Structure 1
Amino acid sequence: MKKDFLRKIIGGILLVSLISLGFNKSFQEYMHIPKNITIFEGQDAEIDTAAIPAAAMTAGDNSVIALSQDEKKFSLHGEENGKSEMVLELAGFPIKKVDVNVLKDFKVIPGGQSIGVKLNTVGVLVVGHHQVNTEEGKESPGEKAGIKVGDLITEINGKRIEKMSDVAPYVQSAGNSGDALNITIMRDNKNIQTKLLPLKEKRENSYKLGLYIRDSAAGIGTMTFYHPGTKKYGALGHVISDMDTKKPIVVDDGEIVRSTVTSIEKGSSGNPGEKLARFSEDKEIIGNITTNSPFGIFGELNKEMTNGIMDTPMPITLSDQVKEGPAQILTVVDDDKVKLFDIEVVSSIPQKFPATKGLVIKVTDKELLKKTGGIVQGMSGSPIIQNGKVIGAVTHVFVNDPTSGYGVHIEWMLNEAGINIYDNGKQKAS
C-alpha cells in the first residue's frame, strides 16, 4: 500500500512539473525554434530567444552561414550556397540542433501589368445540350450518346479535333450516310469512347449533334513575375475555368497580349467589382500559355516586360518566412500604368507543400479603395511586395468584404512554372 501511495505521489509531482513546464515561457520559446531553416544567399533569418537569455548558438560551417547574437535573438546570414547546422546550447550543454540550407541567390522581376489572355482548349469543349427538332420529335444525339457538359471532344473517327470548324464536315458526312460517328471524349483526364448519330433539323438541310461546343476562351488578368534567366512567367495566381461549365480549362495552347484598363466597376459587399479592359490595338503576342493550373497560367515571354516602377530583379520570400504586416501590390487601375498600392498581410500560412490561399490580405490604400472598393476581378495575379521581396500574388476577393481577399505564395507559383529555386534539385525541408 505504501509503495502504491508513494508511486501516486511521485506521479502527481511529475504531472504538475510537466504542466508547469508547458506554461513556462522559456520552454515555449524553445519549442518554437524550427528544426530546419532555408534561406537564400545574401538573405537573413532570425530566431527569437528573448525568453532563453542564457542560450548560445554555434554554427557548423561558417563559410555557409554567419551568426550574430543579441539579448533577444540570433541572426543568421546566408553566406554561400550549401548546407550547415546550428547548435543551441544552454549552460554549455547542446539542447537543440537546427539544420540550415542556403539556396543559391534567386530573383525575379515583378509584374503588375494588365494582360489579355486567350486560351485554346484540348479538342472542343462541350458547354451544353440542345434538342434537335426532327420530323419524329425533339432529341439531343449528344446527350443520348452519354456526352456530358464539361467533356472535351478530342477525336472523331480516329482524327484529332483541334477547333470547332473541324467538327462540321464529320457531322454532315455522317448524317448523309447514316453511319454513327466514333467519338473520343476526355473526362477527368480519362479517354472515353462513344458513338453518336447526328440528326437532321426539321425543315433544314443540316445535321446536328445536339451539343453546344466551344474551342477557346478569352479574358484579362495581371502579370505576376518574369524570370529573366529562363524567360518563364507566371500570372493570375488561380486557374481559369470555363464560364459555362465552371470546370478548369484543359489548355492545348494559348497566348497573352498587352491590355489596357478602360474602366472599373467598383466592388461592394456581395457584389465583387471588375476591371473592364480591352486588348492592345496592335494585338502583339508577348508570350505563350502552356499551363493552366490552380496556381495560375504559365509559359514563356517573347520579350521582357517592364512596369516602370520595379524593373530590376528582386529576391523572393519563401512561404514560411512571410510576416504579417504592411505590404504593397503592383497593379493597373487606369489605362496601362502600373502603380504601387498599400495593403496589409493579415495572415500567412507557412505551407509545407504547394497549396492555394496561403495568404489573407486587406487593402489599406485610400486611393485604391476609392477607385475600386478593394480587390476586383482582373486584379488576380497582382504581385505582393513585402520588405523589398516578392512574396506572392492576389488571387480572390471576399464576396462580403471586397477590401479583403486571398493570395498565393510566390514559392508555389515558381514551382508550377517549372523554375527550380531549391538547392541541388531538392525541395526545402519544413
Structure 2
Amino acid sequence: MSVGPNVAMGDPLIPRGLPVKLFKVKILSGQPKTRWTSGQGVVPVAGVPGRIDMQIKFLGLIPLNRMVINVVPTVRVIPGGHSIGVLLHAQGVMVVGHAVVTDLKGQRHNPALQAGILNGDVILKVNGCRVQSEQQVRSEISRCGEAGRPVTLEIKRGQRVFTTRVKPIFCAETRRYRIGLYVRDSAGGVGTLTFYEPRSKKYGALGHVITDVETNRKIELGDGQIVEAMVQGIRPGRRGQPGEKIGLFNGSGLTGNIEKNTSYGIFGCLRQPLANPLYPQPVPVALVYQVKKGPAEMLTVLRGNRIGRFSVEILQVMPQNRWEGKGMVIKVNDPVLLRQTGGIIQGMSGSPIIQDGKIVGAVTHVFVNDPTRGYGVLAEWMLWEANLMPVPKEKKAA
C-alpha cells in the first residue's frame, strides 16, 4: 500500500489522467462524497478532512494500486512579492578556508588542517563554551596561545559531532596567535517574500536553502531576521552572467524572525500584518496535483517597494524532484520584465507564481545560460515546512 498525496476537499479522488470509464475507485475507509459526475460516470469526491484508504480498479474488477490519501482543507494566504533583506546568524561559525601561519622563525604551519578540520565544518563550541561569534573564537585562540596550551573545539561535520585540540601558533605577520582558519558567522542578502498566513502570522520566503557562498553548505541556523528592502537598481542578466537586484535594507516596515532554513526556503513569523495591494484578500494555495503547464504570473519588485505583476509560463511540472526543491520550470515572457532585467535575476528568489487565482509556487533559480528560464518550488512543499499543511509520510521535514 502506498501513501498518496494531499487532496483538497471537493476534488475527485480518481488520479488525474485516468479515464473514468476504465478506472474505478473503491473506498475502503474514510468519508468521501459521491456526487461529482464527469459525464462518464460518478466519481468519489474528497468530502471531509481526514484519511481515506482507497483502491483503484481497472474496469472495476482488477485491483491495481491501493493508497491512503489525506483530505485537507484549502489553505489561504496573502501573496508576497515584497523585497526583503535577509540577516542570518549561523549556529556556531562555519569554516570557509585555511591559511598558512608563519611563526617568528619563518617556519610555516597549518595547525587546523593538520588537526583534520575541513572547509564546511561548523565549530559549535570552543573550550566547552557555545560559539556565538567569530570574535569569540579569536579571543579563545589568543588566550590559549598565551597560556601555551591547545584550544579545544567541538566540530560538526554533516550529522557527526566530534572534538579536536589544536595548538595555536604565534603569527609573525598579524602578531597574534592563530590556528590557520577563516570562519564566518553570518550571511545576508536580498530576496523576496512568498506568502503570509494571517491567522498564524507565518511566512515563507526565498524558496531555497541559504548556503555559505564559499563552501556551498547549508548554514545551520542560530537566529536571524527579515526586514523590508528597497530596490535601488537592477543589473540585468545575460547569458552566462546572472543579473541581480541592488537593494537597501529598510529598518521600518516589514520585519520578522527566521525559524527555519530549509530546502524549500526560510520560514518564521512576521511581527505585523502584511498587505499586498494587488491581492488585498487571501488566495488559495494550489496542491501539487493542481499545478499545470501554461500561463501564470509572477509578483516581484523592480523599483523601491512597489510590487509588480509579470507574465510567465510554466513549462514543466516535476513533483518527483521534491528532494531538490525544483518542482517546475518557468519561462519569463513579459516584455517589460525582459527589457528591465533580462529575465530571472538574483533577488527574485521567492517571488510567488500565481495561476488561475492560486499560488502554485515561487521562483528559486535561474538557468545561467538562459536567464529567461529558471526553476520554481511548488507552493505545497513550502506549506509543509511552515507547518500549514500535513506532510505526506514519505516526505520528512528538510
The alignment status of 1:218 with 2:188, answered yes or no, reads yes
Aligned to 1:368: 337
| Alpha-carbon distance in structure 2 between the residues aligned to 1:413 and 1:375 | 20
Could you list the runs of 5+ residues in structure 2 that have no partner in the other structure?
A: none
Aligned to 1:400: 369
Aligned to 1:332: 301
Aligned to 1:292: 261
Higher helix share: 1
Q: TM-score, normalised by structure 1?
A: 0.80
| Alpha-carbon distance in structure 2 between the residues aligned to 1:47 and 1:245 | 42
Aligned to 1:155: 125
Aligned to 2:9: 41
1:65-86 Cα shifts (integer Å, max 9, x gaps): 5312336x87776554356669
Question: Contact 2:141/2:178 (CA < 8 Å) preserved in 1?
Answer: yes
The 5-angstrom pairing of residues 35-184 of structure 1 reads 38-42=6-10, 64=33, 66-70=35-39, 78-82=46-50, 102-137=71-106, 138-184=108-154
| Alpha-carbon distance in structure 1 between the residues aligned to 2:62 and 2:172 | 85
Specify which of 275, 279, 303 is matched with residue 272 of structure 2: 303
1:180-226 Cα shifts (integer Å, max 9, x gaps): 11111111132121111211122765222221122111101111111
| Alpha-carbon distance in structure 2 between the residues aligned to 1:50 and 1:175 | 71
CA offset at residue 301 of structure 1?
1.4
Question: Contact 1:125/1:214 (CA < 8 Å) preserved in 2?
Answer: yes
CA offset at residue 379 of structure 1?
0.5
Question: Contact 1:355/1:412 (CA < 8 Å) preserved in 2?
Answer: no
Q: SS of 2:301's equivalent?
A: strand
Aligned to 1:385: 354
Aligned residue-pair number: 389
The aligned amino acid for 1:268 is R
Specify which of 228, 249, 252 is matched with residue 198 of structure 2: 228
Q: SS of 1:167's equivalent?
A: helix
The 5-angstrom pairing of residues 314-329 of structure 1 reads 314-329=283-298
Larger Rg: 1
Specify which of 260, 267, 274 is matched with residue 230 of structure 2: 260
Change (3 A) 1:192 1:409: same
Q: SS of 1:361's equivalent?
A: strand
| Alpha-carbon distance in structure 2 between the residues aligned to 1:356 and 1:403 | 19
Identity of aligned residues (%): 40
The aligned amino acid for 1:211 is L
Aligned to 2:378: 409
| Alpha-carbon distance in structure 2 between the residues aligned to 1:76 and 1:176 | 76
CA offset at residue 324 of structure 1?
0.7
CA offset at residue 64 of structure 1?
3.5
The alignment status of 1:199 with 2:135, answered yes or no, reads no
Could you list the runs of 5+ residues in structure 1 that have no partner in the other structure?
A: 1-34
RMSD (Å), alpha carbons: 3.2
Change (3 A) 1:243 1:394: same
The alignment status of 1:241 with 2:211, answered yes or no, reads yes
Change (3 A) 1:202 1:326: same
1:386-409 Cα shifts (integer Å, max 9, x gaps): 111111111111111111111111
Higher strand share: 2
1:104-138 Cα shifts (integer Å, max 9, x gaps): 23222211111000010111122111222212222
| Alpha-carbon distance in structure 2 between the residues aligned to 1:156 and 1:123 | 10
Question: Contact 1:64/1:82 (CA < 8 Å) preserved in 2?
Answer: no
Q: Which of 131-140 and 324-333 deviates more? A: 131-140
Change (3 A) 1:373 1:323: same
